[in-house]
Chains A and B, each alone.
Chain A
Amino acid sequence: MKIVKLPKNKTNDFIEHLQSFGEVHAPQKKGKKSCAFQPVTDPSKVLIGEEGFLRTILPLKKYFHKPVDTLLKFSPKTGFEDAYEEEGNKVIFGVHSCDIHAILSLDRVFSGKYVDTYYFRRRKKVAIIGISCVPDDLCYCQSMGTSFVEEGFDLFLSDVGDGYLVKVGTSLGDDMVSSAGDMMTGYGDSDINEYKRRINEFPSLFKTKVDEADLPAILDMEYKSEIWEEMGNRCFNCGICSMVCPTCFCFDVNDEVCLDGETGERKRCWDSCLFKSHAMVAGGHNFRESRADRFKHRFLHKHQAFMGDFGRPSCVGCGRCTQDCPADIHFVGMVKRIKDDITCVHSGEEEK
């Protein structure tokens, strides 16, 4: 693996330099307290690391699996046409390890026997530049095994105080650093020591920890637990947790018809398995009628079902769902209750 160093005072220059590889997107202020991946016009507005953990409102999936996407155009005269519109190259800068893991997870979902072309045509156009981070109270990527990444990035920047050690993951990444001239320097012993120090210290920075071991089986045993009813009563089925989750990908597909009553577009938009309509079929039968069932379904899909499919949970521990839930549902607390505190699951108070 090729590793070089980017001194911090060159970061903005480097971001500027990346524009020649595509439109650079990076976390920047959105709203009053939050941030979001947005196109960079002024590198000094990019928010990375230093101010503490910055969890973007929406994860990276918005670039590949759009909130609302037009799949097809149709007309009785011309039949069906692919409505995909070619997009330019993008460089997404400042992606945390958990979010990179999430993209790897979506890559698996959208490939397989049938490949989702809409996802991959966009995915191919995007370079990912990861960056190390310092967890906040809600992060538990360490517990989910997503606090480090070995793949899925073109470059990965690890903070070593006065600069970043830049791991080069792909040949495109190599082009990015090679063409950066003297923005990049070599690294020395002190950098290596600092890197190691941080890596060793990292696990101790997590305030939230859960143990997922054997959770699938435990979840199966707790299939009839009271906790689902309790959560079902609490949940708004507002869909926020699914929208903000970097690994939720459900979508709904519907046709829209133009004013001529015959031509139109087939659109898909982000959906949530918490919606009543999600498993409801013609005639009104619903395979997951109660909110408790649906709540359980989402939770089980993250922590149990996905295991069966891909050998790991789909939750990457980013903390978004817990942060944004308007009903104050603490998803990590849920894992803990189910996993650790058997007596707590069957009755008792929610720990939060």
Chain B
Amino acid sequence: MPKPKVGIFSLTCCEGCQLEILNCEDELLDILGAIDLVSFGMAQSNNLDIDLDIAFVEGTVVQRSEVAILKKIRDRSKLLVAIGACATNGGVAAIDYDKDREELKRIVYGEAGDFIPSITPAALHEHVKVDFALQGCPIEKHQFINAIGYLLHGDLPLLPEYPVCTECKRKENECVLVQHNIPCMGPITSAGCDARCPSHYLGCDGCFGPVDEANVAMEYSIMKEKGMADDEISRMMQVFAAKSPIIKGQFKGD
């Protein structure tokens, strides 16, 4: 069987998800051996515009030119995998997604920045069909490696469908929320990070995005019980996935 042709692409973001791929130091050579990496702008110059079996795309769409780039990638790929919070939910770039772009631009660049193009930040699925998504800000190396294994085998990757709490408890962590009243997004955030934040006595920031069926309303009321003000809760919940419908539902009523 010929090796699958793979491309790794980046729209606007910190490029952490690509970097996390390069962070597979021990596995990198094996990965490169298993796939035919025809495009990876961060790591090589001989990038080809040919049809792909799998495209991994990180980043948020924030300018019109990126919509076109993304559509092109979609057209030439059998499978499009969104990687990271930016690509799946908009990420930090979409924190203020509902604010006027021109105004933000003015704050940042002043009058001189008028020429800078900007559209409402969007996750990939808002512009093209996404076949699969790896969560996280950034993605986790083990999930990426597993995903490659599954894809090579011909299946879609398997990801946990439960929240961070499950991982947190499997690690036998003391619950920061229950025992220390630290606001924690663990109960409504998708697992996958091995409960990094709670393992350091910090509340989960929610970088893996809301878990399927997240009980956001309950999280809200528990945070209130723990003494947080409405605007604090609202800020806390709208960092990595402000645009996801389940979070939006709590704040924007749709």
Contacts and interface: CB of A to CB of B under 8 A. Distances in A.
Interface of A: 30-34, 36, 57-58, 62, 67-68, 233-240, 243-244, 254, 256-262, 264, 269-270, 272, 275-277, 291, 323-328
A324 B153 contact: no
Contacts of A244: 169
Interface residues of B, number: 45
B193 to A, nearest CB: 15
B217 to A, nearest CB: 8
Contact of A275 (B33, B158, B161): B161
Nearest to A68: B170
A43 B71 CA distance: 64
Contact of A237 (B149, B201, B213, B222): B213
A270 B215 CA distance: 21
B106 interface: no
A326 B174 contact: no
Given A32-B174, A260-B152, A238 B166 contact: yes
Contacts of B155: 257
A273 to B, nearest CB: 12
A327 B169 contact: no
A236 B149 contact: no
A222 to B, nearest CB: 23
Given A326-B165, A326-B177, A326-B178, A238 B152 contact: no
A37 to B, nearest CB: 9
A120 B184 CA distance: 37
A261 B149 contact: yes
Interface in B46-94: none
B162 A239 contact: yes
Contacts of A67: 170-171
B165 A239 contact: yes
Contact of A261 (B153, B170, B225): B153
Nearest to A31: B174
Contact of A272 (B31, B162, B171, B201): B162
13 contacts: A30-B172, A34-B179, A62-B172, A67-B170, A239-B162, A239-B169, A243-B169, A257-B146, A259-B30, A259-B33, A259-B145, A291-B215, A327-B218
A133 to B, nearest CB: 20
A143 B254 CA distance: 47
Interface string B162-195: 1101100111111101111000101110000000
B170 A236 contact: no
Nearest to B27: A259
A291 B163 CA distance: 14
Contacts, number: 127
Contacts of B149: 256-259, 261, 264
Q: Which 5 pairs, one residue from A and one from B, show the smallest C-beta to C-beta distance?
A: A261-B152, A31-B174, A243-B169, A238-B165, A257-B149
Nearest to B215: A236
B187 A236 contact: yes
Contacts of B186: 238, 326
B172 A58 contact: yes
Contacts of A239: 162-163, 165-166, 169
A325 B222 CA distance: 11
Contacts of B171: 67
A195 to B, nearest CB: 34
Contacts of B33: 259
A57 B180 CA distance: 15
Contacts of B222: 326-328
A30 B166 contact: no
B233 interface: no
Contacts of A275: 161-162
A328 B218 CA distance: 10
A33 to B, nearest CB: 5
Of the candidates A34, A62, A269, A326, the one having the most CB atoms from chain B within 10 angstroms of its own CB is A326
B222 to A, nearest CB: 7
A323 B179 CA distance: 9
Nearest to A236: B187
Contacts of A36: 172
A346 B86 CA distance: 46
B109 interface: no
B179 A235 contact: no
Contacts of A269: 170
Contacts of B163: 236-239
A89 B177 CA distance: 36
A257 B165 contact: no
Contacts of A57: 169, 172-174
A139 B82 CA distance: 47
B178 to A, nearest CB: 6
A256 B34 contact: no
Which of the listed residues A67, A238, A261, A323 has the most CB atoms from chain B within 10 Å of its own CB? A238
